[in-house]
Structure 1
Amino acid sequence: MDTGISKLLRRDYDTEPEWTARGMLPDSGPNCTPPAIMDFPNFMREKSILYTCICIVCTLYFFVMLAIVCDDYLVTSMERLCYTLRMPYDVAGATFLAAATSAPELFVSLISTFITKGDLGIGTIVGSSVFNVLAIAAVCGLLSPAATLDWWPISRDTLWYLIAIAVLFVFVFDSHIKLYEAGIMFGLYFVYLVLLIFDRKIQKKIRKIELELDIMDEDPLVREEDPIKSFREHICDFPTKEDHWCKKIWFYIKYPAEVLLAITTPSARWIFFLTLFVAVLWISVISYMVAWFLTIVGYNFGIPDSIMGLTVLAIGTSVPEVCSSYIVSNKGYGSMAMCNAIGSNTFDIFVCLGLPWIISILIYKQDVVINSSGLAVTTGMLVLTALLLYILFLITKFVLGKFIGAATLIGYIIFLAVSCTLEIIWLKPMCDE
């Protein structure tokens, strides 16, 4: 997902003649941008109606698989983790859940850095940040029951997200990322984790809190409502004769995905850490396939990469965050949902950018070159969306409900309209294939 806005933070290909040497693009001059499809494996790059139809059908089924992975494996393993470690919901959402749902961005960033030699990783991270903040709040606010959230975790994670944006701005300002700068970014995430570990003690110094208020006190293995499914229940839970025909059709549509996931992913009733790990692997692979196939669809329809990145691809790569946040919000863990949305962006900047940059500099023995020509605009957009969400929470006294859902949805629509207009104005011609 190499959007025009993300190109403000991308490697400057005009200074890298390797594009021609690698045979990935002809020498088309400095006044064009390589198509985003070049950031993916060399497969189905020819324009074809058949490829387009295959990619659309596969993408829809990938969305179904992502929903199953998040609902049956990721969220259930997170619940067992919270119960076992006596971890508050908001801390779990900002750490384990945020890292798990951001795994696709890290996976894509590593793939684009060392395999396709492109900058899809930056495009993916920057392009999905606004969606994570506004659209997830819209989905949870409009579709989940209203919930009053604690002001502390929202304030804490918003502050750290703003710090991450500021650090990114300072380091990218000179268009070069040095090893120590990438190391600082990666190290700051561990500082963030340490503060989260001592979060409860820090809170006790500042305010009075109920220590057991937001900690899971019911064992997910023995609860009667919404129990964790076993392997047999995943495979053998067939519809009955009394079930509606729509339910039967839907069951058999998703049944191959259910079987595949049940065979490859252990139930959370077993070793839940292993369940969490395998679920993250599935989320990473499926999200990468979604981004790849949607790029092929946009390429065949002639949609500019920038517009695709701001709309379809941003949504596609953020499906894990949406699914997991909606599921945990419906279960009453509103703080976990919003800390996941905000915390995943912090993870994206510190880890999904910092770690690949460190590895790249160590391997290639040179700084990472970034085009920072529009950095102020990009930073401004990220800061404004974060502040908008926090101001809305202040207005509603941290009630996640219909008002915040509607306001963030309108804000996201306005963002898309303004951004797409700027993209069209700034759009460079596409390089010849």
Structure 2
Amino acid sequence: MLSGLSLHLGLLVAGIFVLYAGAELLVAGAGRLALGIGLRAATVGVTVIALATTAPELFVSAIGAVNVSTDIGLGAVIGSNIANIGLVLGVSALIKPLHISQTAMHRHVPFMLFAVVLLIVLGVDGTIGSLEGAIFLLVLGGFTAYLVHSVNANPAPDVDNPDASVGLSLRDVALVLGGLVALVLGSRWLVSGGTALLSALGVSDLVIGLTVLALGTSLPELAASVVGAVRGESEFAIGNVVGSNIYNILAVLGIVALITPIEIASSTLWLELPVLAVFTVALVGMMAYGRTVTRLDGAALVAGYVGFLALLIP
């Protein structure tokens, strides 16, 4: 029994490590490739990097939904979004207060709030099917097109970015391919090890997705936002989380719903989704008030996240 649990734990830890490494490779390679073909740095940060840091959630949710249950996929997305706000931004704000730009408040934050509302409205009947998945992806396409148009309509030269040279690099292509391979392997190990370990302890698939898998897939956002906070790059730390939360719902759930219908448990409708809505609205309120997420706000977010985890533990 102990040897089996040790094996599952080892697979879980290895999955988290490989998943994190894969996300880092993908973010680095995708960002440099996008700059190489002429996209501006701001466009890359809002679209390419946000989508790349969502890749762990996509792989874990898709593999978990197909191989285990849709509770795994849905739990990973909702849990990751809550962790992004409560843990990632909370810890980042504790390190250094995060100042909110006018661009983030007017262009990005409203879409994050809209994505949560859309998820609740389309999921209130207990199922997210292929039609809802298609709606998510259409909204995602509109969001991405709007951002690209907004950024390119107000051009500003990337004078501080020496890496923004035109051209494709085989090294960056290799980083992207290597990152994708690592994400596939890491996702499989994380889902397999985490599910087997916690199932042996009597934990449900939904709670597994909301806790271990959600925390594991939020590692890229945590690392990126903490580094941004330490360097004083508040806009990057905020944009990373806001963009990831948007893509988690619209891209991840949209794609998974096209693969297989997602059943939403009544407990999710009455607990996890309302908690996600509360965290999102609270964050928007913190951003709007003084355009800063203070250390006190960060402490409140972390405390709220710890309280949420306590509710999940039987």
Task: Work out the CA distance in 2 between the residues paired with 1:109 and 1:66.
Answer: 13
TM-fit CA distance, 1:121: 1.3
Q: Which runs of 5+ in 2 are unaligned?
A: none
What one-letter code is carried by the residue in structure 2 that aligns with 1:219?
P
Alignment of 1:349 onto 2:249: yes
Normalised TM-score (structure 1) = 0.61
Q: Of 96, 104, 107, which aligns to 2:56?
A: 104
Task: Work out the CA distance in 2 between the residues paired with 1:194 and 1:133.
Answer: 25
Aligned partner of 1:94 in structure 2 is 46
Aligned partner of 2:307 in structure 1 is 414
- Per-residue CA deviation, residues 192-221 of structure 1 (Å, 9 max, x unaligned), is 11001112366x6xxxxx935xx4623249
Give the secondary structure class of the aligned counterpart of 1:358.
Answer: helix
- Per-residue CA deviation, residues 305-353 of structure 1 (Å, 9 max, x unaligned), is 5555443332123222222333444455432332221222221222212
Aligned partner of 1:325 in structure 2 is 225
Question: Larger deviation: 61-70 or 330-339?
Answer: 61-70
Task: Work out the CA distance in 2 between the residues paired with 1:105 and 1:125.
Answer: 6
Task: Work out the CA distance in 2 between the residues paired with 1:66 and 1:218.
Answer: 28
Cα RMSD (Å) of the superposition? 3.4
Q: Is the 8 A contact 1:131 1:315 kept in 2?
A: yes
Please give the residue correspondences for 1:306-325 in structure 2 after superposition, counting only pairs within 5 Å. 308-325=208-225
Q: 1:386 to 1:193 in 2, by over 3 A?
A: same
TM-fit CA distance, 1:274: 4.2
Q: Is the 8 A contact 1:135 1:412 kept in 2?
A: yes
Please give the residue correspondences for 1:149-168 in structure 2 after superposition, counting only pairs within 5 Å. 149-168=100-119
- Per-residue CA deviation, residues 140-164 of structure 1 (Å, 9 max, x unaligned), is 2234x55534132244322112212
- Per-residue CA deviation, residues 42-68 of structure 1 (Å, 9 max, x unaligned), is xxxxxx211222333444444444554
Task: Work out the CA distance in 1 between the residues paired with 2:302 and 2:46.
Answer: 23
Q: Is the 8 A contact 1:80 1:219 kept in 2?
A: no
Task: Work out the CA distance in 2 between the residues paired with 1:132 and 1:216.
Answer: 31
Structure with greater helix percent? 2
Alignment of 1:217 onto 2:169: no
Q: Which runs of 5+ in 1 are unaligned?
A: 1-47, 205-209, 223-267, 361-366, 425-433
Q: 1:57 to 1:177 in 2, by over 3 A?
A: closer
Aligned partner of 2:139 in structure 1 is 188
Please give the residue correspondences for 1:238-253 in structure 2 after superposition, counting only pairs within 5 Å. none
Q: 1:163 to 1:277 in 2, by over 3 A?
A: farther
TM-fit CA distance, 1:370: 4.4
Normalised TM-score (structure 2) = 0.81
- Per-residue CA deviation, residues 276-298 of structure 1 (Å, 9 max, x unaligned), is 34314413431442243233332
Give the secondary structure class of the aligned counterpart of 1:211.
Answer: coil
**Max Rg structure:** 1
TM-fit CA distance, 1:139: 2.8
Please give the residue correspondences for 1:16-415 in structure 2 after superposition, counting only pairs within 5 Å. 48-71=1-24, 73-77=25-29, 79-81=31-33, 83-84=35-36, 85-89=38-42, 91-116=43-68, 118-143=70-95, 146=97, 148-200=99-151, 211-212=156-157, 215=158, 217-220=160-163, 270-303=170-203, 308-360=208-260, 370-371=264-265, 375-398=269-292, 402-415=295-308
Give the secondary structure class of the aligned counterpart of 2:125.
Answer: coil
What one-letter code is carried by the residue in structure 2 that aligns with 1:402?
R
Q: Is the 8 A contact 1:139 1:405 kept in 2?
A: yes
TM-fit CA distance, 1:406: 2.3
Task: Work out the CA distance in 1 between the residues paired with 2:58 and 2:29.
Answer: 21
Give the secondary structure class of the aligned counterpart of 1:126.
Answer: helix
Task: Work out the CA distance in 1 between the residues paired with 2:68 and 2:306.
Answer: 32
TM-fit CA distance, 1:99: 1.7
> How many percent identity over aligned positions?
25
Give the secondary structure class of the aligned counterpart of 1:153.
Answer: helix
Task: Work out the CA distance in 2 between the residues paired with 1:184 and 1:199.
Answer: 22
TM-fit CA distance, 1:137: 0.5
